[in-house]
Amino acid sequence: MKNKEVLLERMERYALTTFGKRVDDLNNNEKYVVLAKALMEEIVPQWLKSQEKFAGKKQAYYLSAEFLMGRALTNNLINMQRKKEVEELLAELGVDYNQIEDAEEDAALGNGGLGRLAACFLDSAATLDYPLHGYGIRYQYGIFKQKFIDGFQVEEGDNWLEYGEPWSIRKGLESVIVSFADGDVKAVPYDTPVIGYGQKTINTLRLWQAEAVKEFDFQAFNEQEYDLAVKAKNDAENISKVLYPNDSTDEGKLLRLKQQYFFVSASLQDLVRKHKAKYNTLENFHKLHAIQLNDTHPAVAIPEMMRILTKVEGLEWSKAWEIVVNTFAYTNHTLLAEALEQWSIKLYKKLLPEIYTIIEKIDGQLKKELLAKGVEAKELDKYAIIHNGNIKMAWLSIYGTKSTNGVAQLHTNLLINQELNHWYKIYPERFNNKTNGITQRRWLLQSNPELSNFITELLGSDAWITNLTELKKLEKFADDQSVLQRFMEIKKMKKEQLAAYIKRVEGIDIDTNSIFDIQIKRLHEYKRQLLKAFYILDLYYRLKENPDLDIIPRTFIFGAKAAPGYFRAKGIIKFINEIAKLVNNDKEISGKIKVVFVQNYRVSYAEKLFPAADVSEQISTAGKEASGTGNMKFMLNGAPTIGTYDGANVEIVEEAGEENNFIFGLRVEDIAALKDYNPKEEYKKIKGLQRVVDSLVDGTFDDGKTGMFKELHDALLIGASWHKPDHYYVIKDFESYREAQQRVNDAYKDRLGWARKCWINLANSGKFSSDRTIDQYAKEIWEIEKA
Ligand code: T68
């Protein structure tokens, strides 16, 4: 009771001082802001305490160009165990909590899986009482907002800071200067608390904002050069202006390189300054810091740290190298060639000449070391960090760190046995696997309170919230009819909630008795949204031919953003929207199938989609999806997977059983063994396939004269200068996928049998908690201890 009064008093105060109004007169957004500020007043003292308890201990730092945090309010309230109380308080004020929750913009400072993984890791580390802090960029614009106009993706800027951002604190006095060849920039830190469940540990996410060292050139202003007077300010601020919306492609743009060096240099200077203030030496730096590089985006940390140690601090090169290698570790998130970062020597020399010289020296040292290890001179090129006019960031990352890890077992095996095999032969001890995970606090407790309560009730304990393997104990209810019945009721409730939301924001009605078949992830050819699209269209034609076709009604749901410059990905969005138009408007098929492509898929939308799914679509070409993490979120909410043997799907099936999932398609070894694959011949032999593939070019659909559909058709049947036809095996896997979908349909008819599969998936999802993953990083790589 007292807590509530204090909170209300604080809200009143912030209403007055921030908005000049009383709480009653605030709009929802303002109410959200004053509530968050009032909570911060309570959080900050504990945050300070938490920092004190780690003083003098080894701590870990996650360097990442992306943190896809989503909304903070509900997550923080849950981790503070204050949600109910705040809901009640707001109700007393006549305010609906859900509307306040909805007023918060997503902090969408990431593209997809890689950025969201960083966010889950922070939650897990704080919950487990590990000192892990994030370092990144405070982009003014997050990932673009997506709209569909006439079925085409249209992007809009995501000005998420516009109405204020109450969770971070600007630490102006801790600003540092980052130097580029073309001038200096000021990096200003903004700190956000990362509250562990139970609030024992509160770690820090420190995001850097770029500002001009000198805001305004008075001289130029006096000389009436107004543009020049603010040029430095604009140039500097551009560095943290916007998140690059590419996932899985490497663009090699100057501004992106600036972003990378900007946040890496600022973060390292920050750590070095604090360390020196305390120890007055850097020789023990690696004993007190472990720094994880989230992919190669922050790999410039390796030469930057060498610069600081040797040129600024005067350490000997070899001593400095030892410190560097023992401080850093590197996570690889992809096998796609186009995603492996390379920077042109020219760009590096132009922007970071001193860093470039250091990379040259590292490369020279590497050559010597390789020769000493018995590598033949003619083999050296394979390892060269600087090669053919480019700097290979992955090679730099492997050589400059003590650990290189993949993100699922299959992915790590492919790194070790194929892509990075030559490196593995030199440094076998550096390679290891850390299968990804997700936080059950956000992806079950927060997004599915109904199922959470039921689980706690059955287990007689909520220990699963911090120990997800507890869910295994649910397996004993797999044949308990009343339990399965309750599970189905909850699933139905989540489907109704989603349907209401989709009705509100997309204006589309969906049938909650139909199977919700959901594919949500970035749009990419290798993820094969097109395979699902072909399946739907084929099913539609089969229904037209045979209206009595015995199928359970299905709602096919997609959510995905395409990189703005990725023409084919945008073509696939348009194609699916065209199919949706055709199918959804056809009265003849009497609502048996429906297609919905939701707009602006993001973390807060995901929280509504995962709990409502009946089927999880994980249908990437085998060997291409490093891990996947959405697959785990579906499983945790009790949805079976229809999927290929790829990434973490392999481990999901290992845990939950192949009989409770729907596996199909070529495996990695099948693809390797394929010879003389000719999709143009093959697609004629598979009943119904030619019709759907050719719908791209035979006038069935209109792509508004963009040429998008022909481009997709050609990619499948002719290929392109950079690839063979159908290089993601959409045609090759079609029949196997259709057959797996038939198995889904048949299995769903047995309602209890289906619920049992869902239940066994849920019960065996314990392995996929990011708590497990973080524990492994902490013990096996970082060597840090809990508070
Ligand atoms: C994803 N990668 C993997 N990259 O695709 C996914 N890339 O399999 C894995 O589960 C996940 O990482 C976490 O390990 C990405 O999300 C990017 O977003 C990205 C961003 C910029 C440049 C390249």
Q: What is the pLDDT of residue 460?
A: 98
C-alpha of residue 113 to centroid of ligand 1, in Å: 5
Mutual angle of helices 529-545 and 567-584, in 10-degree steps: 20
Residue 757 annotated as catalytic: no
Burial of 322 (0-12, 13-18, 19+ CB in 10 A): middle
C-alpha of residue 295 to centroid of ligand 1, in Å: 9
Q: What is the pLDDT of residue 250?
A: 85
CA distances from 534 to 10, 688, 743 (A): 56, 10, 17
Mutate to test the pocket of ligand 1, among 62, 333, 521 (most ligand atoms within 8 A of CB): 333
Residue range 615-655, pLDDT digits in tens: 999 999 999 999 999 999 999 999 999 999 999 999 999 99
Domains of the chain are 54-71+106-358 (3.40.50.2000), 440-768 (3.40.50.2000)
Q: What is the DSSP letter of 11?
A: H
Mean pLDDT, the chain, as a whole number? 97
Separation between Cα atoms, residue 250 and residue 65, nearest integer Å:
13
Average pLDDT over residues 479-502: 98
Of the residues 37, 289, 333, 624, only one is catalytic, namely 333
Lowest mean pLDDT among 221-235, 250-264, 559-573: 221-235
Residue 3: pLDDT over 90:
no
Q: Is 23 within 8 Å of 253 (Cβ atoms)?
A: no
Separation between Cα atoms, residue 556 and residue 569, nearest integer Å:
18
Of the residues 521, 602, 608, 756, only one is catalytic, namely 521
Residue range 116-145, pLDDT digits in tens: 999 999 999 999 999 999 999 999 999 999
Q: Which of 630, 535, 629, 518 is nearest to 579 (CA)?
A: 535
Pocket of ligand 1 (CB under 6 A): 111-114, 117, 246-248, 333-334, 339, 407, 436, 625-629, 647
Burial of 303 (0-12, 13-18, 19+ CB in 10 A): buried
Written as six digits, the tokens of 745 are 């349909």
C-alpha of residue 458 to centroid of ligand 1, in Å: 36
Q: What is the pLDDT of residue 528?
A: 98
Closest residue by CA, ligand 1 atom 22 = 247
Residue 527 annotated as catalytic: yes
Question: What ipTM was reported for this prediction?
Answer: 0.99
How many other C-beta atoms can be found within 10 angstroms of the C-beta atom of residue 742? Answer: 12
Written as six digits, the tokens of 372 are 């000493």
C-alpha of residue 114 to centroid of ligand 1, in Å: 4
Written as six digits, the tokens of 224 are 């009436």
Of the residues 411, 441, 494, 633, only one is catalytic, namely 633
Residue 22 annotated as catalytic: no
Ligand 1 atom closest to the CA of 522, numbered from 1: 16
C-alpha of residue 112 to centroid of ligand 1, in Å: 6
Residue 1: pLDDT over 60:
no
Q: Could you give the residue ranges of the DSSP H alpha helices within 461-560?
A: 481-506, 529-545
CA 195 to mean position of chain CA atoms? 20
Closest residue by CA, ligand 1 atom 18 = 247
Residue 772 annotated as catalytic: no
Average pLDDT over residues 299-323: 98
Of the residues 201, 204, 629, 773, only one is catalytic, namely 629
The string over 743-756, giving b where at least 16 C-beta atoms fall within 10 Å of a residue's C-beta and e elsewhere, is: ebeebbeeeeebbb
Between these two residues, 218 and 345, which has the higher pLDDT value?
345
C-alpha of residue 435 to centroid of ligand 1, in Å: 14
Q: What is the pLDDT of residue 224?
A: 85
Separation between Cα atoms, residue 622 and residue 633, nearest integer Å:
20
What's the sign of the alpha-carbon dihedral 343, 251, 400, 271?
positive
Between these two residues, 220 and 89, which has the higher pLDDT value?
89
C-alpha of residue 193 to centroid of ligand 1, in Å: 25
Closest residue by CA, ligand 1 atom 15 = 114
- Looking only at the bridges linking them, the beta strands covering 404-406 and 328-331 are parallel
Ligand 1 atom closest to the CA of 411, numbered from 1: 8
Residue range 666-704, pLDDT digits in tens: 999 999 999 999 999 999 999 999 999 999 999 999 999
Of the residues 116, 307, 527, 756, only one is catalytic, namely 527
Q: Which of 314, 340, 310 is nearest to 324 (CA)?
A: 310
- Beta partners for residue 169, in sequence order: 191
Q: Is 104 within 8 Å of 162 (Cβ atoms)?
A: no
C-alpha of residue 405 to centroid of ligand 1, in Å: 14
C-alpha of residue 120 to centroid of ligand 1, in Å: 14
Separation between Cα atoms, residue 164 and residue 725, nearest integer Å:
49
C-alpha of residue 777 to centroid of ligand 1, in Å: 18
The string over 242-268, giving b where at least 16 C-beta atoms fall within 10 Å of a residue's C-beta and e elsewhere, is: bbbbbbbebeeeeebbbbbbbbbbbbb
Residue range 258-281, pLDDT digits in tens: 999 999 999 999 999 999 999 999
How many other C-beta atoms can be found within 10 angstroms of the C-beta atom of residue 410? Answer: 25
Q: What is the pLDDT of residue 657?
A: 98
Of the residues 186, 522, 727, 756, only one is catalytic, namely 522
Average pLDDT over residues 277-300: 98
Q: Using only the alpha carbons of the chain, give its radius of gyration.
A: 27
Closest residue by CA, ligand 1 atom 20 = 247
Residue range 365-421, pLDDT digits in tens: 999 999 999 999 999 999 999 999 999 999 999 999 999 999 999 999 999 999 999
Closest residue by CA, ligand 1 atom 19 = 247
C-alpha of residue 333 to centroid of ligand 1, in Å: 6
Q: What is the pLDDT of residue 251?
A: 87
Percent of the chain with pLDDT over 90: 95
The torsion of the CA quartet 533, 536, 542, 543, rounded to 10 degrees, works out to -150
C-alpha of residue 337 to centroid of ligand 1, in Å: 13
